[in-house]
Structure 1
Amino acid sequence: MMRQDVVLLDRATDAETGLMEKLEAHRLGRYHSAISLLIFDGAGRQLVQRRAAGKYHGGGLWANACCSHPLPGESVADAAVRRAREELGIAPSLRPAGTIRYRAPVPAAAEPDGRLIEHEHVSLFVGRHDGPVEPHPEESDATEWLERAALLAAIGAGGFVPWFALYMRTLPERPDDWRAEADYGYFDLM
């Protein structure tokens, strides 16, 4: 498997400080850059995916449409477009929807203590897609379109990654109210 690096950031300034191999960054809980896509269809339903069982963390849990990391030297906007295509086989219209920062434990069956630590500065993107979704089997083993009430009930019942539950508790209810310049804060869920 090819080495995958994440872009490390300074927690106080969000300035880039270097690179680290992705799994090691999650083992150590190092603060790094990430992206998350929240995709809606024309009926206002939100796309969720169940992470493939073989994922390095959060396997089998439900999440937002797409979450990943920009490559070194890649803009977060370019990473969002790339990962929508790679993970879901889609090319949604996307716009920046603000940032959120958090630290949270995430289940990781292959790790000795059964968890990894997400410590991320997330650039959020909201988009629209009407049409088929073709998830890559190494990324996702199921997708669903859910109306907000059903989605909130499902999150309340469990089985979702902690970052998506945080997004749904923190972001304004209407995606039209999500703004590129919005900073939704820092949350320590440890």
Structure 2
Amino acid sequence: MNDQVVLVDENDLAIGLMPKLEAHQKGLLHRAFSVFIFNSKGEMLLQQRAFGKYHSEGLWSNTCCSHPFPDEPTEEGAVRRLAEEMGIRTDLHFLFAFQYCADLENGLTENEYDHVFWGVSDAIPNLDPLEVSDYRYVAAETLKTDMQAHPENYTEWFKICLDEVLSKIESQKSGL
């Protein structure tokens, strides 16, 4: 397993490599991706991060998120990780990229230039238990209501980008 992340500047230009844990300890900006999968009913596939992960363990989040390997195109990394974590293969569509910084437990910081992708699949997830404890499909409005009532149950990046993800997906769907 490759534990190096690509350090980037504010324009997503690669400026170096660093072990993933060290980048999170130092709070350095690095490249990441987030994948949002919906079923044909329009429900979002959520994953519960595995217990034992070094941060955000047991929290609910988008379908998949990770970091591309050095020299790996970000979309290829997203496709690869979706198959590895969730056992799902489907076409992904680029949605947008954003930068965020969030303090996590254990003195760690997520400081990411995050590329967001989405896709549609009715495949039954085949979970990697080292990465994912559980999954569920949920309607967007139900998710937003629960997230407001219980924000402590969700990852920081998911809370930060959810509204923009839903808005931009609607825009892309109406343009198809």
**CA contact 1:171–1:178 (8 Å) conserved in 2:** no
Corresponding residue SS for 1:78: helix
TM-score (norm 1): 0.85
Aligned match of 1:79: 77
- Unaligned runs of at least 5 residues, structure 2: none
Of residues 147, 155, 161, the one that matches 1:161 is: 155
**Structure 1 vs Structure 2 CA RMSD:** 1.5
Tell me which residue corresponds to 1:144: 136
Q: Please point out which of 115, 125, 141 is paired with 1:123.
A: 115
Higher helix share: 2
Count of equivalent residues: 171
Q: Does 2:32 match 1:6? A: no
Cα distance in 2 for residues equivalent to 1:167 and 1:178: 16
1:35-184 to 2 correspondence within 5 Å? 35-107=33-105, 114-156=106-148, 157-158=150-151, 159-173=153-167, 175-178=169-172
Query: Aligned with 1:171: secondary structure?
Result: helix
Maintained 8 Å contact 2:47/2:63: yes
2: CA distance, partners of 1:122 / 1:10: 12
Question: Aligned partners of 1:14, 1:77: CA distance in 2, in Å?
Answer: 14
Structure-2-length-normalised TM-score: 0.92
